[in-house]
Amino acid sequence: MTQHTRAYIALAFICIVWGTTYLAIKVGVQHYPAFLFAGVRQACGGIILILAALFLSKEKDLSTRNILRQMLVGFLMLTVGNGLVSLGMKFIPSGISALICSMMPIFAVLFNLFSSQKDHFNLTIGAGLLLGSCGVGLIFLHNIKMTNPLFLIGIFATIIATCGWALGSIINKRHEDAVNPFLNSGMQLLFGGLFMLIISPMADNYNGFAWWDTKAIMALIYLITFGSALAYAAYMFALSKLPVGIATIYSYINPLIAVIAGYLFLKEDLNIYTGMAFVTIVISVYLMNRGYRKQHKGELSVTETKPGNAFPEGIPVE
């Protein structure tokens, strides 16, 4: 088996695993408080990655500046991003959460437009933004009968989470460090998880939940081992052997996997509006990315992660 074949197998593994993380999160938060569940998951995943990074390479940057940077990125991408996604999934289906999270590249491009003088608005970006708005509108259109306060809390929490992930990705990319990217990503996971565990007693409701639930524990183990450690290692391998444009197609496939998994295992609603929202959002992400890349020919887009960048889950994440 050639290295390219292994890389494509790794890519298929990423598409499936990161697509099913939404299902696992949904199962977990049905039994455990959201920030507690997500915090344990990310902190454990971070410890695994840090130990692996130190074992595989002696190079490390433990300067105060680098540690503070990983803390900030971990807070934005994981505490805000993954934490609020987990909270939102207490109130909305996992498929809808995945569709909203798939809009992360749109927010990333918008943040870049507002924060960089060399970036400017163009027709392709405008078309992508319009389609993305239509995709969210389709989600609301079908679920308008469900727009109770809890449903709306879930929607807005997921949107804020997606913004946090996008902003953290941009900050990380602008200050990327080639010294042991596994260690940096492990620190982001660890700090993001620890922040969630600190927030948990203030934000979570601990009343009436069992500390040991078989389904939730299995979901947690799956997320730590497959969703965090193994999938990230597979992504790094695929990215080293395949063009970035191919290695990052997981961001278009994950939402579809998440919607189908939610339908098959959690009996979540699957209808024409969900399908239309998926197609619309995927096209919008493509157009926004294409419009941004026109301005940066020869450079990587903000939505195309490379080694040294933050942990790129399931967009979702993660």
Under-50 pLDDT residues of the chain: 298, 300-317
Taking the complete model, does pTM exceed 0.85, yes or no? no
Q: How many CB atoms lie within 10 A of CB 47?
A: 16
pLDDT for 208 equals: 77
* Confidence at residue 277, expressed as pLDDT on a 0 to 100 scale: 83
pLDDT tens-digit series, residues 130-176: 888 787 777 776 665 555 678 888 989 999 999 998 888 888 777 66
Residue 83 makes CB contacts below 8 A (sequence gap 6+) with 34, 35, 38, 39, 161, 192, 195, 196, 199
Instruction: Please tell me the distance from the alpha carbon of residue 119 to that of residue 45, in angstroms, as a whole number.
Output: 35
Sign of the CA dihedral 234, 196, 133, 143? positive
Q: What is the pLDDT of residue 283?
A: 86
Count of CB atoms situated within 10 Å of the CB of 174: 11
Q: Which residues contact 100 (CB under 8 A, 6 or more apart)?
A: 136, 139, 155, 158, 159, 162
Note the pLDDT of residue 297: 60
pLDDT at 207: 85
